[in-house]
């Protein structure tokens, strides 16, 4: 608990109201009234660009940015994959897996680990997108990776055509089969990258010119063109399957995992004698969602990263179920068809995984040595999180009902410690919050890892995701609430305390305030706290002081204590209708007559546009002195302001 620092008091008596008025109902999804605008600057930032999504040469279609979906767009066929799902086959875990400690409740289904050489960045075979486009004399493919530090480390293969039930073996020792007439394999060869087109039945090269390969390291894109003299799919519907793996340059084959990773070999194959080489597979349209009410099944067959079908298919060495049927007649006609809510198409409502283009990229790939706990080496201020790339995943629930007249509500549903952005995907927690009162969009950011506590980059990610959703959906900027479970409940207090003028209500489950001095900022936000009596992680000694602080301040709150109940009981029970009823249609009070606000500069990150120095009609707040109080801790400042210009 941080000690209170300097306290300022201010009584404002105004004959004429001069503060920012409430935002009127407009078509904008974010506040657009007079300043000070609510929330941090990062919420209002210009949409960022990512090199992986840039189009050059023959490519022009906008990316889908919805994972596990395909679309026809202006002569191109696109498949958008999930991020950070490159976990390979579900075999026996690598005992040295660096993810184990911090991802207890977000384990992948696949067990593969990357070589420990930093060039692999724990992400070298992470497929972002695969495109197909017919040209006048060739068929072009473009594969985009999330990470591409060194093109000599990675390879991919595409199965072309084939008869269902007739399996052929992918080339180069991939140890995977699929229906195919031909295989196109793109792989390193010396200092370049080449393409091989072979007959699937014989393994012999297909006649005609060799495929033309271009590697764009900056954009992390690999383009390959197959000339029509070698293969011409014009007028056909062609079955495609594809996988990405690592390359063994010494032997000219795919690099296979062993039981334990080392500097030059991946791990996680367990006792498999012929493990699949692919880390990531395309065209996964039916990946299961987590089932929060089945903890045993979730432990043995997790779906948190949407890689369960992938893990099973690779363990079986058979990609028959993971394929796309591409209509080249539609491509030549430049048809645009997102196939909304069709199998393989782009979902429009319900639980969806989307991709954010962040303003920040600390490094390519993932660093599982990072822990954001304050006492850890990388923890505390400026913690970068484990997932450090520019593309970040998030979960969204779009209600199936027609959009309300003023736009959807917006519910922040923050994930727990050791979980990920899919913690609530497909749960009643998500849908009951989303389907209430006509429809509220529900978003769960990844926040760059399992333990960011919504500070630094993890906190900035929340508002980048919010901004992305506001750009893509019409929101009612006054109908916003915040909620979350465990660490997400702590984050519910933290972000509401920092930016109270963004939220109408707060509903933390098994959470508490990390600094009860900051609770004073919640004067104008009613809170419903759900906690458990026998909670081994958030016991009464954590949440009761927060409740007492709310009580002593005379604030509107309710504390419901469930018994018998431990830390995970409410999550597994997954019944949040009473909490949804509390959140209701509540709207933000933009101009309360009485404002109390606590300034804590240690939580500010100016370089990230993540600064809390204003609330409602108070702005540009600074501490009079940064000298820590004699009782310890660091300086904080409280301002208590009352305006009679509101007629009260």
Tokens 């009612």 identify what position? 476
Quick one: DSSP state of residue 366?
A: B
CA pair distance 292, 290, nearest whole angstrom: 6
Nearest to 502, CA basis, from 480, 469, 474, 529: 480
Residue 9 has pLDDT above 60, yes or no: no
pLDDT at residue number 281: 99
**pLDDT of 228:** 98
pLDDT of residue 27: 52
User: Residue 504 and residue 589: Cα distance in Å, rounded?
Assistant: 7
64-68 LR contacts (CB < 8 Å, sep 24+): 64/129, 64/338, 64/346, 65/354, 65/355, 66/346, 66/347, 66/352, 66/353, 66/354, 66/355, 67/306, 67/353, 67/354, 67/355, 67/393, 68/284, 68/285, 68/287, 68/306, 68/353
Residue 631 confidence (pLDDT): 81
The domains of the chain are located at 41-47+358-590, 67-332
Alpha-carbon separation of residue 436 from 353, 357, 439, 506, 576 (angstroms)? 21, 29, 6, 15, 11
Mean pLDDT of 299-308: 94
Give CA angle at 66 (64, 68), nearest 5°. Answer: 110
**Token pair belonging to 213:** 């390969």
Residue-level pLDDT at 416: 98
pLDDT one-digit tens code per residue, 80-92:
999 999 999 999 9
Query: 322 by DSSP, 3-state: which?
Result: coil
Calpha distance 270→95 (Å, rounded):
10
| Res. 198: pLDDT tops 50 | yes
pLDDT of residue 493 exceeding 90:
yes
Across residues 204-218, what is the average pLDDT? 97
Among candidate residues 503, 500, 499, the one with its CA nearest the CA of residue 411: 503
Does the pLDDT of residue 500 top 90, yes or no?
Answer: yes
Among the listed residues 431, 425, 371, the one whose alpha carbon sits nearest the alpha carbon of residue 401: 431
- CATH architecture group of domain 67-332: Sandwich (2.60)
Peptide bond into 555 cis (omega under 30): no
In sequence order, which ranges of 373-435 are alpha helices (DSSP H)?
A: 428-434
The residue with tokens 């506001």 is 470
From 98-112, 279-293, 455-469, 612-626, the region with the lowest mean pLDDT: 98-112
CA separation, residue 78 to residues 144, 339, 352 (Å) = 11, 12, 17
The reported pLDDT for the residue numbered 647 is 62
Tokens found for residue 336? 């645009």
Assess contact for 111 and 89: CB atoms under 8 A: yes
- Is 14 a residue whose pLDDT tops 60? no
Under the banding of pLDDT at 50, 70 and 90, the label for residue 100 is: confident
Does pLDDT of 542 surpass 60? Answer: yes
Q: How confident is the model at residue 196, as a pLDDT?
A: 98
* CB-CB contact of 76 with 133 (8 Å): yes
* Res 87: pLDDT: 99
Over the stretch 436-453, which tens digit does the pLDDT of each residue have?
A: 998 999 999 999 999 999
The average pLDDT across 103-113 equals 95
* Range 608-635 average pLDDT: 92
CA distance 645 to 169: 77
CA pair distance 393, 31, nearest whole angstrom: 25
User: What is the reported pLDDT for 10?
Assistant: 36
Mean pLDDT (the chain, rounded): 94
Task: Indicate the pairing of strand 154-160 with strand 391-398.
Answer: unpaired
Residues in the chain: 648
The CA distance from 414 to 419, in Å, is 10
Q: What is the pLDDT of residues 323-372, one digit of tens each?
A: 999 999 999 999 999 999 889 999 999 999 999 999 999 999 999 999 99
What is residue 646's predicted lDDT score, i.e. its pLDDT? 75
Separation between Cα atoms, residue 338 and residue 345, nearest integer Å: 6
Q: Are 273 and 68 in contact (CB under 8 A)?
A: no
Q: Which pLDDT score, from 0 to 100, does residue 648 have?
A: 59
Domains 41-47+358-590 and 67-332 belong to one CATH topology: no
Between 301 and 100, the more confident residue is 301
Mean per-residue pLDDT, 129-133: 99
End-to-end Cα spacing for the chain? 35
pLDDT at 24 over 50: no
**Which two structure tokens, joined as six digits, stand for 468?**
């992305």
Average pLDDT over residues 401-428: 97
How do residues 549-559 score in pLDDT, each as one tens digit? 999 999 999 99
| Res. 16: pLDDT tops 50 | no
Residue range 41-47+358-590 forms a domain whose CATH class is alpha beta
Query: CB-based contacts of 218: which residues, under 8 Å, 6+ apart?
Result: 51
Q: How far apart are CA 220 and CA 52, in angstroms?
A: 6
- Please answer whether residues 511 and 546 qualify as being in contact, where contact means their C-beta atoms are separated by less than 8 angstroms: no
Which pLDDT band holds residue 377 (cuts at 50, 70, 90)? confident
What's the token pair of residue 572?
A: 């597994």
């Amino acid at each position: 608990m941080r000690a209170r620092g300097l306290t300022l008091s201010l009584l404002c008596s105004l004959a004429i109201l001069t503060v920012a008025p409430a935002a009127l109902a407009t078509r904008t999804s974010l506040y657009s009234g007079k300043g000070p605008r609510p929330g941090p600057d990062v919420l209002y930032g210009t949409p960022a660009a990512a090199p992986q999504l840039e189009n050059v040469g023959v490519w022009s279609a906008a990316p889908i940015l919805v994972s596990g979906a395909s679309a026809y767009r202006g002569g191109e066929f696109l498949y958008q994959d999930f991020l950070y799902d490159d976990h390979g086959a579900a075999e026996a875990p690598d005992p040295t897996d660096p993810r184990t400690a911090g991802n207890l409740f977000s384990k992948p289904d696949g067990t593969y680990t990357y070589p420990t050489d930093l060039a692999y960045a724990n992400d070298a075979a992470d497929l972002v997108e695969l495109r197909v486009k017919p040209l006048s004399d060739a068929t072009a493919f473009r594969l985009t990776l999330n990470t591409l530090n060194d093109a000599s480390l990675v390879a991919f293969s595409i199965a072309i055509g084939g008869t269902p039930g007739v399996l052929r073996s992918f080339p180069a020792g991939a140890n995977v089969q699929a229906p195919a007439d031909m295989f196109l394999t793109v792989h390193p060869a010396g200092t370049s990258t080449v393409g091989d087109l072979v007959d699937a039945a014989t393994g012999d090269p297909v006649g005609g010119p060799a495929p033309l390969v271009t590697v764009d390291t900056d954009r992390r894109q690999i383009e390959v063109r197959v000339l029509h003299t070698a293969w011409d799919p014009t007028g056909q519907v062609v079955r495609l399957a594809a996988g990405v793996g690592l390359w063994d340059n010494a032997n000219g084959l795919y690099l296979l995992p062993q039981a334990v990773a080392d500097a030059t070999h991946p791990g996680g194959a367990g006792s498999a004698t012929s493990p699949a080489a692919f880390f990531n597979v395309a065209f996964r349209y039916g990946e299961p969602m987590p089932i929060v009410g089945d903890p045993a099944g979730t432990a043995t067959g997790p779906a948190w990263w949407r890689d369960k079908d992938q893990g099973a298919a690779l363990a079986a060495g058979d990609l028959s179920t993971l394929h796309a049927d591409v209509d080249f007649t539609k491509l030549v006609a430049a048809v645009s068809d997102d196939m909304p809510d069709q199998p393989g198409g782009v979902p429009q409502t319900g639980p969806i995984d989307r991709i954010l283009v962040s303003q920040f990229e600390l490094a390519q790939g993932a660093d599982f040595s990072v822990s954001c706990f304050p006492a850890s080496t990388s923890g505390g201020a400026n913690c970068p999180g484990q997932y450090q790339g520019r593309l970040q995943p998030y979960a969204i629930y779009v209600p199936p009902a027609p959009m309300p007249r003023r736009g959807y509500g917006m519910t922040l549903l923050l994930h727990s410690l050791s979980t990920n952005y899919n913690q609530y995907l497909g749960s009643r927690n998500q849908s009951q919050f989303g389907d209430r009162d006509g429809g509220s969009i529900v978003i769960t950011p990844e926040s760059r890892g399992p333990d960011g506590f919504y500070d630094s980059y993890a906190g900035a990610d929340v508002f980048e995701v919010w901004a992305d959703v506001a750009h893509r959906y019409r929101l009612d900027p006054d109908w916003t609430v915040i909620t979350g479970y465990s660490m997400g409940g702590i984050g519910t207090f933290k972000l509401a305390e920092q930016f109270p003028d963004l939220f109408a209500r707060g509903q933390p489950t098994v959470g508490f305030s990390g600094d009860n001095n900051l609770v004073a900022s919640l004067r104008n936000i009613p809170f419903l706290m759900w906690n458990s009596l026998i909670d081994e992680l958030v016991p009464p000694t954590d949440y009761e002081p927060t409740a007492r602080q709310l009580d002593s301040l005379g604030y509107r709150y309710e504390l419901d204590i469930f018994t018998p109940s431990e830390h995970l009981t409410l999550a597994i029970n997954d019944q949040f209708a009473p909490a949804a009823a509390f959140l209701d249609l509540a709207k933000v009070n933009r101009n309360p007559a009485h404002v109390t606000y606590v300034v804590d500069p240690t939580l500010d990150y100016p370089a990230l546009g993540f600064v809390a120095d204003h609330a409602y009609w108070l702005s540009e707040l600074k501490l009079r002195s940064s000298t820590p109080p004699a009782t310890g801790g660091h300086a904080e400042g409280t301002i208590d302001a009352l305006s009679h210009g509101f007629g009260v």
